[in-house]
């Protein structure tokens, strides 16, 4: 058998990535494992109990930082015969005049652009071109140190999805340290909006985020969300 | 390492859940395997995460690390094959995504050889590609490759011989 030359064997070996985000991967894997557990008996779905109607628009206005998941549209992006979707777009922006950070990472996009806001707003986006029935993404928004006086803040993620397409939290990485009991926060909100004539469902996820002005701020709360199964 | 320290290390390793150990030590390697088979980093991570999801779910039935590792590799390989089938179906209904090519080109500037060999791998038939990836990327011997693929050792030899010959021809032509 002709051997494969050392050059190409080395090239194959070089395919092992060195930039895997193990924390992110672990969170997705564990979330999927939980989602796929047999449903015999009572299934614990703590995030769902927070879902209440309305309120997200006012909430968004008062907290100013948002991260959005916008789809390119069911029609334009195409739906494959097995029901998976192609061509979704993640978009995140901030509109606050203060310093806000937004980070969006996705598991199914080809292109990830991280962006951190510094007033005035901005956008990061990525195309989702891999068919997947339940794409997940992680979103977080937080007020950066130096962007305002409060040492007590919240993390907020707003997800905009096509009307009728529910979004659910599959994992939540809590910021440390936190001083606001999660029970005291609104948690998950659900509302609706019409943007440029298109109906969307709007989902807001809120979590405590506390840090002092001294020292490095902790990692902000991060929600991993996905479209709920149809 | 002293023998006492070695034993302590061994104790720690034995106590660590096998799925967690395999995740920490082999996640990146499995992503690389899926990249070789799919030429798509995002899809590779998706497939590998699904494989680990199954591993975590079935961890209780895993008797040892070796069998769990074998299960993991088979899950990744089978996941890649399933993904390829779905992708071929999807491609019949939708044009290729332009961003895929763009991101591939970006990767090429950093690791041109790796990209070329992965691209050449994509032109191999499924079984040849898997055999070459298991043997030359994972470093499995022929019998281990046969176990992963669920075929005989002689079949593995045949797929390897044909795959490497085709691969070498393609790559040499491009040089």
pLDDT tens column, A162-186: 556 566 655 555 544 333 343 444 4
Q: What is the pTM of this model?
A: 0.46
A125 touches chain B (CB under 8 A): no
Binding-face residues of A in 194-213 toward B, CB within 8 A: none
Question: A31 in helix, strand or coil?
Answer: helix
The string of DSSP codes covering B36-82 is HHHS-HHHHHHHHHHHHHHHHHTGGG--SHHHHHHHHHHHHHHHHHH
Handedness of CA A2, B121, B80, B19 (dihedral sign): positive
Tokens of A152: 């007590």
- Give dist(CA A67, CA A56) in Å, integer: 13
Stretch (H or E) spanning A35? helix A22-35
Q: Tell me which of B110 and B79 has the higher pLDDT.
A: B79
ipTM of the prediction: 0.70
pLDDT at A221: 54
Q: How far is CA B130 from CA A12, B36, B77, B121, B124, in A?
A: 13, 9, 7, 9, 9
Q: Judge contact between A159 and A69, C-beta under 8 A.
A: yes
Per CB-CB distance under 8 Å, the chain B contacts of A137 are none
Q: Which of B30-34, B78-82, B127-131 has the lowest mean pLDDT?
A: B78-82
pLDDT at B30: 94
How many residue contacts between A and B have a Cβ separation below 8 Å?
134
Quick one: DSSP state of residue A101?
Answer: E
- Give dist(CA A168, CA A171) in Å, integer: 9
- A18, A25, A26, A29: best mutation site toward chain B, by most B Cβ within 10 Å? A29
Average pLDDT, chain A: 46
**pLDDT tens sequence across B124-145:** 988 899 999 999 888 899 999 9
Would you call B24 and A12 a contact, using CB atoms and an 8 Å cutoff?
no
Per CB-CB distance under 8 Å, the chain A contacts of B31 are 16-17, 20
């Amino acid at each position: 058998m002709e051997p494969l030359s050392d050059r190409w064997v080395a090239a194959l070996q070089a395919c092992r990535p060195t930039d895997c985000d193990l924390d992110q991967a672990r969170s997705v894997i564990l979330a999927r494992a939980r989602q796929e557990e047999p449903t015999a008996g009572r299934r614990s779905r703590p995030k769902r109990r927070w879902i209440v109607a309305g309120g997200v628009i006012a909430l968004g206005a008062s907290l100013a930082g948002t991260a959005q998941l916008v789809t390119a549209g069911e029609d334009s992006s195409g739906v494959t015969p097995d029901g998976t979707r192609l061509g979704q777009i993640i978009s995140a922006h901030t509109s606050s005049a203060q310093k806000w950070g937004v980070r969006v990472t996705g598991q199914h996009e080809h292109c990830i652009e991280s962006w951190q806001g510094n007033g005035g707003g901005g956008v990061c986006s990525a195309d989702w071109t891999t068919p997947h029935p339940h794409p997940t993404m992680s979103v977080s928004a937080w007020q950066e140190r130096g962007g305002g006086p409060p040492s007590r803040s919240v993390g907020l993620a707003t997800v905009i999805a096509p009307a009728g397409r529910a979004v659910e939290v599959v994992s939540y990485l809590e910021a440390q340290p936190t001083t606001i009991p999660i029970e005291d926060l609104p948690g998950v909100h659900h509302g609706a909006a019409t943007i440029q004539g298109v109906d969307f469902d709007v989902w807001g996820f809120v979590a405590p985020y506390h840090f002092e002005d001294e020292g490095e701020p902790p990692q902000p709360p991060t929600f991993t969300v996905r479209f709920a199964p149809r | 390492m002293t023998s006492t320290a070695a034993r302590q290390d061994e104790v720690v390793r034995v106590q660590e859940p096998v799925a967690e150990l395999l995740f920490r030590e082999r996640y990146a390697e499995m992503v690389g395997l899926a990249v070789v088979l799919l030429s798509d980093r995002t899809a590779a991570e998706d497939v590998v995460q699904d494989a680990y999801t199954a591993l975590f779910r079935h961890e209780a039935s895993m008797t040892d690390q070796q069998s769990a590792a074998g299960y993991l590799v088979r899950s990744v390989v089978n996941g890649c094959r399933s993904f390829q089938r779905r992708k071929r179906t999807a491609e019949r209904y939708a044009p290729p995504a332009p961003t895929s090519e763009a991101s591939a080109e970006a990767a090429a500037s950093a690791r041109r050889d790796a990209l070329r060999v992965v691209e050449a791998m994509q032109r191999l038939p499924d079984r040849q590609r898997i055999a070459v990836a298991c043997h030359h990327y994972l470093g499995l011997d022929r019998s281990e490759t046969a176990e992963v693929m669920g075929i005989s050792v002689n079949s593995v030899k045949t797929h390897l011989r044909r795959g490497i010959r085709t691969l070498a021809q393609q790559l040499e032509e491009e040089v």
